Amino acid sequence: MTIAPPPRSPRIDGARARYQQHGKVASPGRSVVLLYERLLRDLDDATIAIGGQDHAAAHSALIHAQQIVDGLDVSLDRAQWNGAGALGAVYEYLGTELVTANITKDQRRIAACRQVVEPLAEAWRGAWAELAGAGAGAGAGAGAGAGAA
């Protein structure tokens, strides 16, 4: 008896092709930086959409932002890092504010979230640039953390 392989998925094939095209998947540290950058973009997109009365686009951006915050929270290893509980509390606050902002379409709440997220994003950019520089030599990390300076 022969077992047939599972059917190919266009979505998975497309993702595989993108990874192969770039040659590698982002490191865990770089992935966190990318998530924070996307979170900031979602907050900006939601603010713009609310200003333009595009409630569907605002909803979509805020739902995506909530998913990112949830993912960041779930990925915290509370057993390995003493500060994880405090960062988890920040993620819980952000999640609550994003839900409320989505329900009320409140740009002020989104701005408050951005004020919390931006320094965290900067800290992660700096940490990633430092690690990338340490791993590849003094000059290699200089351009890696664009915006961290």
Structural domains in the chain, sorted by start: 27-132 (1.20.120.340)
- Local structure of 109: helix, strand or coil: helix
Q: What is the pLDDT of residue 92?
A: 97
Eight-class DSSP state of 82: T
What burial letters (b/e) apply to 37-67, b meaning 16+ CB within 10 Å?
A: eebbebbebbbebbeeeeeeebbbbbebbbe
Q: What is the pLDDT of residue 145?
A: 36
| Structure tokens, 96 | 């609550």
pLDDT at res. 15: 55
From first to last of its 149 residues, the chain has per-residue pLDDT tens of 555 555 565 665 665 565 555 556 678 788 999 999 999 999 999 999 999 999 999 999 999 999 999 999 999 999 998 999 999 999 999 999 999 999 999 999 999 999 999 999 999 999 999 988 876 554 443 333 333 33
Enter the pTM of the model.
0.74
DSSP of 79-97, one letter per residue? TT-TTHHHHHHHHHHHHHH
